[in-house]
Structure 1
Amino acid sequence: MQGVFLLRKWYLLLSIVMVIAVLAGCSGNKGNKSIKLAYVAWDSEIASTNVVKEVLESKLGYKVEMLQVDAGPMWAGIADGSADAMVAAWLPSTHSSYLDKYKSNIVDLGPNLNGTKIGLAVPAYMDIKSIEDLNKTETASLLKKQLIGIEPGAGIMMATEKAIQEYGLKSYTLVESSSAAMAQELLKAYDNKQPIVVTGWTPHWMFAKMDLKYLDDPKGVYGGDEQIHTLVRKGLQEDKKDAYAFLDRFEWTPDDMANVMVAIQEGKSPEDAAKDWVKANADKVDRWVKSTD
């Protein structure tokens, strides 16, 4: 009897050890469940990338590393595998040069947002309608021959350089800054009813906060309506099946994005704004992550 008791005790101890080992293995796997998201510091992409980060972490158990870079390195990072994904590809026009360069080394999951637009934007109180009007001597003088831009290398900056050539605006300087700095310059000028031209795009909180208009682009330099696409590195579907499935399903509206952007502009951290949006849109988020096991 004592031998049977010892044998049972040994089996019990072995079972406990095996359960602990399995749990430890699961915990270790979860700890290694990480993903890198590349993005540019545009208000729209700060909003979308933080929402994606929140879903990956709160719903799928990932540890997310966010890599803030310029547009060129963002595309290059997906192509060379140093980043796993991005939700910030403006196509077919704004990032067309990057698509031509890297399309054979990336996976395009299609649009996550429809109805975007880029161009030169001005306050509605300015009495000009077209990019061609910038050639008027009085207008050029009022604007101090400056177009307020964002980061060098951004697709909208390359399009604006082309617009300067196409519309004969060679006396103008395209001022390089950042998305945040451009928006603040615009807000300052708007509050004082001063003339200003900026490189603009929608969705963007500045169109919700201010009465703005795009200058007509009769030469079509800036293209028409665009989409924002989700891109991932090759092999992600095999390596991180659930994350790939979610990224493939991720799609929202300009109003969704604007809600997050405005919350950030009004003082919330990007992380808190994303958490609040995900919590308030549970049904939509559930559709993104369904059957990702």
Structure 2
Amino acid sequence: MKKLGSIFLVILLSMTVVLSACGDDGDNTASDGSGDDSKGEVKLAMVNWAEGVAMTNLAEAILEEKMGYDVESTTAEPGLIYTSLAEGDYDAFLDGWLPLTHGDFMDQFGDDVADLGPNYENAKIGLVVPSYVDVDSIEELNENKDLFEGQIVGIDSGAGIMKASGEAIEEYDLDFELLESSGPVMTTELSSAIKDEKPIIVTGWTPHWKFSRYDLKFLEDPKKVYGESETIHTIARKNIKEDMPEVATFLENFKMNDDQLGGLMGEISDSDKEPLEVAKEWMNENEELVNGWIPEEK
């Protein structure tokens, strides 16, 4: 009997340890799979454009380091991003160009997303050349076709600036080919041409670090195909204010000017570190500005 009692006691103690372990596991894991110190996960979307990379990584750094969220940032094409925001697969996108560049997307998905307002004003798109190029207007391009080998270096095929550039080719009856590439490829081609002082035309926009690094100019657009100055907005899924009020308020408060965004973009471009690490350093160097974006806890 003594032996049976000892065996029973060992089994009972083992069951207690197992049940305790199961209980601890449940207590330490959030329902969304995040650790118990996290307020939850925020899913950000971005296009691989300089300003979007800078702002998205800065937002990620603040949400994680100062606000206690887990953040997943995903790079995709604009069309997919707007579709996914409308379907609730992403929480926010900090690079919505309005009213022209992403106007078609907002016409299509505007009722199913939330516009949290502007985060950068006086943005601009158009055709850009180095200032040493003796051409000032889109209307002068055909007579200088050979100078540029009949090519305009573009970016991603789904970008609004590519659609506008296609329209510019039609409106101005340009005998030019619009080359598809990406933001990084475009800046590499531009840098290479400037190094050799060769003429080049690229699809360009501000804010972008290339304007602080190189002496560039927008070609005049008398027909206003590229529109006037634009505003970059933060676009979010429709119910973010109800589901994530603190995150939504932070994103509404998040605004940068030329010096702030230009400085961050330049630091990311010049650094060998990952953009998120550079963004964290910039965040720590600009605490007063950053803390002003974070809503006070109630």
Pair 1:279-2:274 in alignment:
no
Q: Partners in 2 of 1:243 and 1:54 — Cα distance? A: 13
Please name the residue that 2:193 is paired with: 189
Cα deviation for residue 273 of structure 1 reads 1.6
- Note the residue ranges of structure 1 that are not aligned, 5 or more in a row: 1-19
What is the 5 A alignment of 1:100-249? 100-136=107-143, 139-169=144-174, 171-249=175-253
Instruction: Look up the SS of the partner of 2:141 in the other structure.
Output: helix
Cα deviation for residue 232 of structure 1 reads 1.0
Instruction: Look up the SS of the partner of 1:66 in the other structure.
Output: strand
TM-align CA RMSD: 1.8
Q: Partners in 2 of 1:272 and 1:249 — Cα distance? A: 22
Count of matched residue positions in the alignment of Structure 1 and Structure 2:
271
Q: Partners in 2 of 1:24 and 1:183 — Cα distance? A: 46
Please name the residue that 1:9 is paired with: none
Q: Partners in 1 of 2:132 and 2:152 — Cα distance? A: 17
Cα deviation for residue 231 of structure 1 reads 1.0
Cα deviation for residue 101 of structure 1 reads 0.4
8 Å contact 2:246–2:295 — kept in the other structure?
A: no
Q: Partners in 1 of 2:260 and 2:274 — Cα distance? A: 17
The one-character-per-residue Cα deviations of 1:250-292 (angstroms, maximum 9, x if unpaired) are: 1111221111111121123211221111111111111110325
Moved over 2 A (4+): 20-32
Q: Which amino acid aligns with 1:262?
A: G
Instruction: Look up the SS of the partner of 1:228 in the other structure.
Output: strand
Cα deviation for residue 32 of structure 1 reads 6.3
More deviation, 28-37/214-223: 28-37
8 Å contact 1:245–1:292 — kept in the other structure?
A: no
Q: Partners in 2 of 1:254 and 1:273 — Cα distance? A: 18
Please name the residue that 1:14 is paired with: none
Instruction: Look up the SS of the partner of 1:113 in the other structure.
Output: strand
Q: Partners in 2 of 1:49 and 1:146 — Cα distance? A: 32
The one-character-per-residue Cα deviations of 1:169-228 (angstroms, maximum 9, x if unpaired) are: 1x2110000000000000000010001000000011111110000000000000111110
- Note the residue ranges of structure 2 that are not aligned, 5 or more in a row: 1-23
